Amino acid sequence: MIRIGRILTKHGEPRRIEMSITGMKDDLGGLSGVIASFRDVSDLMGLKLQIGDLKGFAGIIGRTPKMLQVYRQIRDLGTNDYPVCITGETGTGKELVALAIHDESCST
pLDDT per position as a tens digit, 17-54: 888 888 899 999 898 999 888 888 776 666 666 666 66
The whole-angstrom separation of Cα 63 and Cα 61 is: 7
The whole-angstrom separation of Cα 99 and Cα 105 is: 10
Check residue 54 and give its pLDDT.
62
What pairing do the DSSP bridges indicate for beta strands 14-25 and 31-40? antiparallel
Q: Which CATH number is 70's domain given? A: 3.30.450
- Which domain does 90 fall in, by range? 2-104
Instruction: Provide the domain count of the chain.
Output: 1
The answer to whether residue 14 scores a pLDDT higher than 50 is yes
Task: Give the mean pLDDT of the chain.
Answer: 77
Residue 107, CA atoms < 13 Å, CB-side half-sphere: 9
Check residue 33 and give its pLDDT.
92
The answer to whether residue 83 scores a pLDDT higher than 50 is yes
Check residue 61 and give its pLDDT.
72
The answer to whether residue 55 scores a pLDDT higher than 70 is no
